[in-house]
Structure formats: C-alpha cells, structure tokens
Amino acid sequence: MLKLGVPSKGRLMEKTFDWFGARGVGLRKSGSDREYAGAVDGIDGVELVLLSAGEIPRELAAGNIHLGVTGSDLVREKLANWDAQVAELAPMGFGGADLIIAVPQAWVDVSTLDDLDAVAAAFRRNHGFRLRIATKYHRLVREFLREQGVADYQLVDSQGATEGTVKNETAEAIADITSTGETLRANGLKILDDGLIHASQATLFRGRRRDWTDEQRAKLKALQMVLGI
Amino acid sequence: MPTSADTLTEARRLRDLFAAKGAEVVKADVLQPAGTLLDLYGEDIRARAYLTSDPLRGEMVLRPDFTVPVVQMHMETHADPARYTYAGKVFRKQETDETRANEYVQVGYEVFDGQNPAGADAEVFAAIAEGLADLPVRAATGDIGVLMAAVRGLRTTEARKAALLRHIWRPGRFRALMKRFGSGQVTPARAALLAADDPFTDAGADIGLRSRGEVEARIDALRADAAAAPIAAEEIALIDAILGLRETAPNVLSALRDIAVDMPAIGDAVSGMDARLDALTAQGVDVSTLEFEGSYGRTSLEYYDGFVFGFYATDRPDHPPVATGGRYDALTAHLGQGRAVPAVGGVIRPDLALGIRAC
C-alpha cells in the first residue's frame, strides 16, 4: 500500500483533487464532510491520507506517508537537508506564493538587501539591539540572509498577522508569504527588489526512505504512468 | 554520543600538557546565558547553538565554545599576562551533515598577553602543534589583521571603510561592496531619490521604530557617498592581491612587503607578521614550509581579527580541522566594555586527533 498525504481542507485540497482528477486518479473525502478519511478511484493500492499541509513534510521524512502534496516552501522550511529526505515528483501549478522580505514603504532609502544590511548596522548602533525581522520561516530566511551576507539582524517568531508586526513595533521588517502583495501594501509595507527568498507552489513529493517494499516501488511507477509524470 | 574513554584520556593528556606550560586549569558552566552570545554572533549562533529557556534566568545556551566564558572570567581578574587551559564538551547543531558530531570535547590553550603579541601568537601555535606532534596534519595560517589594515588604509571615506570592515567575515558581501565603492555609479532609481527635493513624496505612513530622522540621516549618508570619489582600481587590485595570496609564509611576507610599498598602511601588520615568523622559528616551528593564505579565517565565526590557524588531517582535507585558533583582541574589547586585553588561543579536538592517529 502506498500512502498519499493530501492537505485536509480548503482550496489546497480542492485543487489537489482537481489536479489528480484531470489525470485520471479520483481523490475524494469519504463519509461526511467533517471526517478526515479519503478514497482513491482509478488505481489500486494507493491510500489517501488527509492531514494538515504543515505536517506533510515531517510525515514524509518519517516514512509515515510515501507521497505527499504540500507547498515547496514548507518542505524547505521544515526539513533540514530537505532534498536528502524527499524528492520533488511534480510541481502542480497552483498554490503559488512567494516568500519575500518586506520593509516599511516609509523607508524610501531601502530597496535592496544591500540597503537593508546598511540600515541594520545603523539601527543596531542607534537602538542598541539588532533589527528585528518577523517570520515563521526561520530556516529559509536565515539561510537566505547568510548567503546574501546580511548582518546585524535578528529573527523574531511570528506565527500569524506578521504584516502587522511593524506597525505594532514588535519588528522592523518581515519575511512572509504573499501571492498578490495586497496585504503588504495595506499594512504600509513594500517588497525588496531582490528580496525573493523562494517562489513556492503546491508540489507532489515522495519520501526518500530506503525501506520501501518492491511492491510500493512498483506502485509508484504505476501511479506515475497514470499521472503522466 | 558518549565520549570514549580514549578521548577523555587524550583530552586529559592535552590539558596536562598545556598546564605544564604554566596555564591555569579553568572550568565553565555547560549552560551559559544566551544574551551575550546572541548579541555577539546573531542569527549564525542561533542556527548552530542549542538554545533553551530557564524560567528565572531567561534564554540559556548549551556552551558552543569556551572562549567567551574564559574571556569573561579573565576580565574579572585581569591578570596580565595570563594563561588558561580547559577540557570539556561543546555543543553545536549540525544542520546539513549528520555525520558530524553535535557534541564533542575541546581542549584549549588561551594566552592573554599585552606585552608581546607576536610571541603569544607563536606560543599558542607551538603549543597546539606540540599537542598534535607526530600526527599526519598540515597547518594553514592567515592574518585577518593584514586585511583589516589594508581596508583601513584605503584612500576613501570612513563610512566606506567601516562598511567593509563590518563584512570582512562575509566574503560575498565584501566583494559586492568593493565593486560598488569602486564603480562610482548609483542605480537610476537611487539617483532619482538622492536628487529629489522631497524624497518622501511617495512614502507611506511612518510606521515602526525606525524614525523619519533615521531615514533622513541615511539619505544624507547616501548623498555623501555618491559625492565621494570611487575607490581607485589600483587599490582594489591591492586588496585582491592580498586576498589571493597563497604560498609559504616567507614568500607571502615578501609579497606583502612589495604590496606595502604601494599601501604603507599595512606596514605595521606586515612587521607584526615578520616578528611572528621569528617568534615561531624561536619556538622550533619550520616556517619555511608553513602555508599562509590571505583569505584564511574569513568564513569562521567573526571574532578572529589577527593571526588565524587551523590543523587539518593531511589525507582528509574534507574533514573538519583537528585544531583551530587565532587572535581575538576585538572580542575582549567587546566583552570588557571597552577594556581590551590582547588575547590569542587555540583548541584541539581530541576525538579527531585520535581518529587520524589510528589510521
């Protein structure tokens, strides 16, 4: 049996069902709408597991599911050395969102990471602490800023309403997911020209664990044939 | 992973060796207050150190190295000169390579000596080398102080020098800054901002802690920078020449003397290197084969600001160094609230040393 993990609610679930449906594999919730059980039509030996998109990376890495649909950002954020633990089978063309760095529009002197870095140095001098960047994507943001050579900042955790942290003076800048930028603008923020950390989309992943049975490997091949990926 | 009895025996042997050189044996708490380290290293240490919280003491960290607690301890006694040795575990997360240990023993030798820096550098290097005697290792050395002196000697604004010095340890950003300061160009958007009568025409509401005044101050600084002459191509070439040096120490010294003709600002640092080579020779180190790299030590945690060295297994260049060390004068100034004590130290990893002895 090959276990396929799919987000358990919302547009991400519907779009995933549509994507598989268009390729001849029917996914549906079984039982009542509130129940997190699923059924698969069109191919044998594949079991649908509905769970939170944020848990799918961890479950893939642990081997509790074999395939999973989740955002490419979540896999990179939640798994160290992600590409040693999971592999991308197919980008799915929806759920697109960019992880970006944004600063107040009032910072007319800042449009690049180079500016942000210079401002961070001055901010630390003036205020006695490191410039705060609010985010829930700690790993991705830290790796990006390290690669880009930005110093004198600190990450502060924000699990929601991140765009409001600057106005509330709990952060000076943010790193968050955006698709249209509308919420950012409404909160007086702008995206840095070179502040794109990762362009995310819903992606079908497989786990890389070695303990797959031959039957599971054959089943994956069969599924890939049906899906045409 | 439990430390093997062999590693503990080797650690004790090394610590005794250093103690026999007059070093006081010191200990440090495994749990350290995180504030100092986070302030010092920022997010880099957050990625590498095990942070935990204590209901009364706030954020704590599992000791990622001994240097900071030893410096803090020394700053309270301020004997000069002073020598310390220690043996104990340090803890570092490994984010990408799970085959690397996340807790391991370090044995260190630290010298605080304001009188004779060249002699102290040589003493620490020789002590570490003695601890590794007979092992198949090669030493790599460098001197961050030469690069810093070269930056300070550039004929450009203090603001640019400060920006470059801040990024000595981030080679990519350093290079980007050199390129920009050497180009004399600003982007069209930036030029428009600097030329604007009111740069805040399209600005949104003032939100956040960074004030309008701070933005204005930066615009003034950007205007001043745009008005400053670009750093001369010849000077950039000299910095590149220093960074590109990779030869035996005597050959590098000779090359640096040539560079110092065009860049007298590095003269003192070069004399310091000369004195260090003499001191190393006096300690019995064969400097004629000692490797020196102009950019060595730039990617380590940013506290080394002078002599830097590392010892590597000869046939395993991909492995982490068996021993590392260097001078960290600025760190003592930072931790001593301005009261600096010239200091240099090195650490050996006994587990790695035993690993190559077995081969």
pLDDT surpassing 60 at residue B260: yes
Q: At what angle do helices A113-127 and B158-166 cross, to 10 degrees?
A: 100
| Residue ranges for chain A with pLDDT beneath 50 | none
Binary contact (B207, A167; C-beta < 8 A):
yes
pLDDT at residue B46, rounded to an integer? 81
Q: Where are the alpha helices (DSSP H) in B230-347?
A: 233-244, 249-262, 267-282, 329-335
As a whole number of angstroms, the distance between CA B93 and CA A196 comes to 27
pLDDT in tens, B317-330: 788 899 999 999 98
Nearest to B96, CA basis, from A209, A83, A56: A83
- Cβ within 8 Å of residue A138, ≥6 positions away: A77, A155, A157
Residue of A nearest to B189 (CA): A111
| Sign of the dihedral through C-alpha B89, B91, B97, B99 | positive
* d(CA B187, nearest CA chain A) in Å: 11
pLDDT at residue B359, rounded to an integer? 54
pLDDT in tens, A40-77: 998 999 999 999 999 999 999 999 999 999 999 999 99
The amino acid that residue A158 corresponds to is S
Cα atoms found within 13 Å of the Cα of residue B236, Cβ hemisphere only: 14
pLDDT surpassing 90 at residue B300: no
pLDDT in tens, B64-100: 999 999 999 998 876 778 999 999 999 998 877 778 8
E strand or H helix that includes residue B355:
helix B350-358
Binary contact (A108, B193; C-beta < 8 A):
yes
Collect all residues from A whose CB is shorter than 8 A from any CB in B. Answer: 80-81, 104-109, 111, 114, 117-119, 121-123, 126-127, 130, 142, 145-155, 166-167, 169, 171-172, 188, 190
Copy the structure tokens of residue B352.
């790695």
pLDDT at residue A34, rounded to an integer? 64
pLDDT surpassing 90 at residue B301: no
Binary contact (A148, B172; C-beta < 8 A):
yes
As a whole number of angstroms, the distance between CA A25 and CA A40 comes to 7
For residue B52, how many other CB atoms are within 10 A of its CB?
A: 11
pLDDT at residue B43, rounded to an integer? 82
Q: Are A85 and A63 in contact (CB under 8 A)?
A: no
Residues of A in Cβ contact (< 8 Å) with B173: 117, 148-151
Q: What's the mean pLDDT when you consider all of chain A?
A: 94
| Tokens 């002196």 found at | B149
Q: Compute CA distances B156 → A36, A70, A122, B243, whole Å.
A: 66, 51, 20, 19
Question: Strand runs (DSSP E) across chain B, as ranges?
Answer: 24-25, 31-33, 51-54, 58-62, 82-91, 103-112, 137-143, 246-248, 291-293, 307-313, 323-327, 343-348
pLDDT in tens, B10-52: 999 999 999 999 999 999 999 999 988 888 888 888 888 999 9
For residue A81, how many other CB atoms are within 10 A of its CB?
A: 12
pLDDT at residue A107, rounded to an integer? 97
ipTM for the predicted complex comes to: 0.88
Copy the structure tokens of residue A32.
């009542």
Binary contact (B166, A104; C-beta < 8 A):
no
Q: Are β-strands A2-7 and A67-71 bridged in parallel, bridged antiparallel, or unpaired?
A: parallel
Stated pTM of the model: 0.89
As a whole number of angstroms, the distance between CA A76 and CA A135 comes to 15
Residues of B in Cβ contact (< 8 Å) with A106: 200, 203-208, 212, 215
pLDDT at residue B2, rounded to an integer? 63
Binary contact (B218, A119; C-beta < 8 A):
yes
- Closest CB from A126, A153, A172 relative to B43: A153
Nearest to B114, CA basis, from B278, B303, B341: B341
Residues of A in Cβ contact (< 8 Å) with B298: none
- Closest CB from A80, A105, A151 relative to B96: A80
* d(CA A52, nearest CA chain B) in Å: 25
Residues of A in Cβ contact (< 8 Å) with B186: none
For residue A185, how many other CB atoms are within 10 A of its CB?
A: 16
pLDDT at residue B44, rounded to an integer? 80
pLDDT at residue A127, rounded to an integer? 96
Q: Angle at the Cα of A116 (from A113 to A118), degrees rounded to 5?
A: 110
As a whole number of angstroms, the distance between CA A54 and CA A77 comes to 10
Inter-chain Cβ pairs, chain A and chain B, closer than 8 A? 104
> Considering just the CA atoms, what is the radius of gyration of chain B in Å?
23
